Homo-oligomer: A and B are copies of this chain.
Amino acid sequence: MGEAGPIRTIGQLAEAGGVGVQTVRYYERRRLLLPTSRLPSGYRLYGAEALQRLRFIRNAQALGFTLREIEGLLNLRVSSAARCDEVQQAAQAKLVTVEAKIRDLEALARVLRTFIRSCRAGRPTEHCPILASLESPTLESNSKSNGGKSKKSNGGRGGKGRAKENQRRHKSGG
């Protein structure tokens, strides 16, 4: 308000927001943070609201939102009033995925602890029980709750949608 004025160049904005200049331009490419105006030379100028927006982006990122999701939140913010419940729902949805990820990781941690104990038990290490376990057809404790996005919306690779090269035809007893 009273120390440098609200109009900043990209370098000043980046500094104030704790990001790099390239990052600000990257956000612009992603249409998350447009410059308030431009000099005739093309220099970007940012007002105080741009810094607010930049902080919004960084904070939301710290909460685990992706830039795509943040774009949605910012659009909600533009259309003001009574949209608060949508924001709340977004936060709720994010919480659900975060909790799912926590559960996955805890299941993972349990398996790892089991493995570690199986070694600590003082067996002769000639046949490492961990390495042996890793060769089993499928690992026990597959309690993946899929708390995120799957890689390809394909969902399980046994489908018929294989494009050109993937599966064999019939030769099961050749």
Contacts and interface: CB of A to CB of B under 8 A. Distances in A.
A105 to B, nearest CB: 5
Contacts of A18: 157-158
A77 B14 CA distance: 48
Contacts of A56: 131, 134-135
Given A81-B126, A109-B102, A136 B59 contact: yes
A142 to B, nearest CB: 7
Contacts of A134: 55-56, 59-60, 73
Contacts of A113: 95
B87 A119 contact: yes
Indicate how many identical chains form the complex.
2
Interface of A: 3-4, 9, 11-12, 14-15, 18-22, 52, 55-56, 59-60, 62-64, 73, 76-77, 80-85, 87-88, 91-92, 94-95, 98-99, 101-102, 105-106, 108-109, 111-113, 115-116, 119-120, 125-126, 128-131, 133-139, 142, 157-158, 162, 165-168, 172-174
